[in-house]
């Protein structure tokens, strides 16, 4: 060989070089929102009073082995000594995001516990009440009252849509059709489904009380109603190998997920895993493994899937941190560097 590259090799290098120079390696959700709305859109996390089908009615007992006692509500809502009304929660969220980020566009995020764990009639009432509360609070704390068609959101107004976080075994056709009705009113509607793992032995171990097929069924139902679908994936669950984690991402890709939230396994205080940790029954993954693991998953996900989160979000005092977690901004940089080192990008192996 004379050391010169063939035309085919040159073409491959040119394509790769163009991607490195002009196309992002990761399809970040924040960039997608800015492209759709011309500005960043912020989530207003609320606890609308839902519980979980695998928790006691008072929320104090049961749940998945990794689950936080507060149902993973937003950090700025955690300083209450009691759960306040919806308007108080929205006001706090609005003031926080406007003060810290100068936010002008919002999603209402039904975040805590399982936010479809009720009858369709109850869900409709809760969602409508919360949307109405947003408008009342916005007109109270906003710069000026706004016209609002049918007391609902419009693409031109500050409320861009709603996000509903839930379990796949608490989702059916009727609930999907209810959410689709808000989409018809001009809102962007996302349903977030907790998969965590595609492996039955893991799902049993963490006490999810549902299998992977239930997730696939829920994804199909949501897709038929043209809802945007986010999948929650947990990396570093006890007993899972690197190949198993990538296989979970492949299942989410096969199901046609529109968005992904990665969570690294944390031993949250008050959870069932925290109670068995002192006996040495489980260990936490070292955070140095995260960039490589997330990169593996990104490569097999659809290029169009919007990446919303790449790590769990707990305050230091909320979890047992054997190894200090990596700051999310540093982790994002390390992830980009890992993909660059590989000459890779999101979706590179999706066609496989």
pLDDT at 76: 55
pLDDT at 19 over 80: no
Give the predicted TM-score (pTM) of the model.
0.87
Is it the case that residue 125 has pLDDT exceeding 70? Answer: yes
Residue with tokens 């593996």: 296
Rounded-to-integer distance, Cα 91 and Cα 77, Å: 11
Residues of the chain with pLDDT > 70, as a percent, come to 84
Q: CA-CA distance, 87 to 133, in Å (whole number)?
A: 6
- C-alpha 303/C-alpha 17 separation (Å) is 18
28: alpha, beta or left? (left if phi > 0; alpha if psi -120 to 50): beta
In this structure, what token pair is assigned to residue 22?
A: 């002009």
Average pLDDT over residues 324-341: 96
CA dist 240 → 14, 140, 144, 197 (Å) = 38, 49, 52, 9
Whole-angstrom Cα distance, residue 174 to residue 185? 17
Per-residue tokens: 159:
């409320």
Residue 56, pLDDT > 80, answer no
Contact 116, 122 (CB under 8 A): no
Three-state SS sequence of the chain:
CCCCCCHHHHHHHHHHHHHHHHCCCCCEHHHHHHHHHCCCCEEEEECCCCCCCCECCCCCCECCCCCCCCCCCCHHHCCCCCCCCHHHHHHHHHHHHHHHHCCCCEEEEECCCCCCCCCHHHHHHHHHHHHHHHHHHHHHHCCCCCCCHHHCCCCCCCEEEEEEEECHHHCCHHHHHHHHHHHHCCCEEEEEEEEECCCHHHHHHCCCCCCHHHHHHHHHHHHHCCCEEEEEEEECCCCCCHHHHHHHHHHHHHCCCCEEEEEECCEECCCHHHHHHHHCCCCCCCHHHHHHHHHHHHHHCCCCCEEEECCCCCCHHHEECCCCCCCHHHHHHHHHHHHHHHCCCCCCCCCC
The Cα–Cα gap between 37 and 156 comes to 9
What sign results for the dihedral spanned by CA atoms 63, 64, 66, 71?
negative
* pLDDT band at residue 71 under the 50/70/90 scheme: low
What are 50's two structure tokens?
Answer: 């839902």
Share of the chain above pLDDT 90, in %: 67
Could you tell me the domains of the chain? 25-342 (3.20.20)
Residue 4: what pLDDT? 46
Which has the higher per-residue pLDDT, 56 or 164? 164
147, two tokens: 């016209």
Average pLDDT of 191-209? 95
- Give the chain's end-to-end CA distance (angstroms, integer): 31
pLDDT tens profile 260-317: 999 999 888 888 888 888 888 888 889 999 999 999 999 999 999 999 999 988 878 8
Sheet order of strands, 259-264 included = 42-46, 106-110, 159-166, 188-196, 228-235, 259-264, 306-309
Query: What average pLDDT does the segment 39-63 reach?
Result: 85
Q: Which is nearest to 264 in space by CA: 206, 312, 297?
A: 312
Q: What is the pLDDT of residues 85-111, one digit of tens each?
A: 999 999 999 999 999 999 999 999 999
């Amino acid at each position: 060989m004379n050391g010169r590259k063939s035309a085919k090799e040159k073409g491959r290098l040119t394509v790769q070089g163009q991607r490195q120079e002009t196309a992002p390696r990761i399809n970040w959700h924040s960039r997608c929102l800015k492209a759709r709305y011309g500005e960043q859109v912020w989530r207003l996390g609320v606890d609308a009073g839902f519980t979980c089908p695998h928790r006691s009615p008072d929320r104090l007992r049961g749940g998945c082995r990794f689950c936080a006692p507060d149902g993973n509500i937003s950090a700025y809502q955690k300083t209450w000594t009691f759960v306040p009304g919806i308007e108080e929660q929205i006001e706090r969220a609005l003031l926080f995001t406007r003060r810290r980020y100068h936010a002008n566009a919002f999603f209402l995020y039904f975040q805590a516990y399982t936010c479809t764990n009720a009858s369709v009639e109850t869900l409709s009432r809760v969602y409508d009440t919360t949307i109405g509360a947003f408008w009342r609070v916005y007109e109270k704390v906003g710069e000026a009252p706004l016209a609002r068609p049918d007391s609902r959101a419009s693409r031109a107004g500050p409320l861009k849509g709603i996000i509903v976080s839930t379990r796949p075994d608490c989702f059916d056709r009727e609930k999907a059709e209810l959410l689709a009705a808000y989409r018809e009113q001009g809102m962007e509607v996302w349903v977030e489904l907790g998969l965590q793992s595609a492996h039955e032995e893991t799902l049993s171990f963490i006490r999810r009380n549902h299998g992977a097929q239930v997730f696939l069924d829920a994804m199909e139902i949501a897709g038929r109603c043209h809802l945007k679908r986010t999948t929650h994936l947990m990396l570093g669950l006890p007993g899972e190998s690197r190949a198993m984690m990538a296989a979970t991402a492949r299942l989410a890709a096969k199901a046609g997920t529109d968005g992904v939230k990665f969570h690294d396994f944390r031993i949250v205080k008050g959870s069932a895993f925290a109670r068995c940790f002192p006996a040495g029954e489980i260990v936490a993954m070292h955070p140095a493994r995260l960039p490589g693991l997330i990169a593996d998953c990104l490569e097999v996900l659809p290029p169009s899937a919007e990446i919303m989160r790449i790590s769990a979000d707990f305050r230091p005092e909320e979890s047992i941190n054997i190894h200090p977690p990596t700051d999310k901004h540093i982790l994002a940089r390390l992830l980009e560097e890992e993909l660059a080192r590989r000459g890779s990008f999101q979706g590179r192996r999706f066609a496989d």
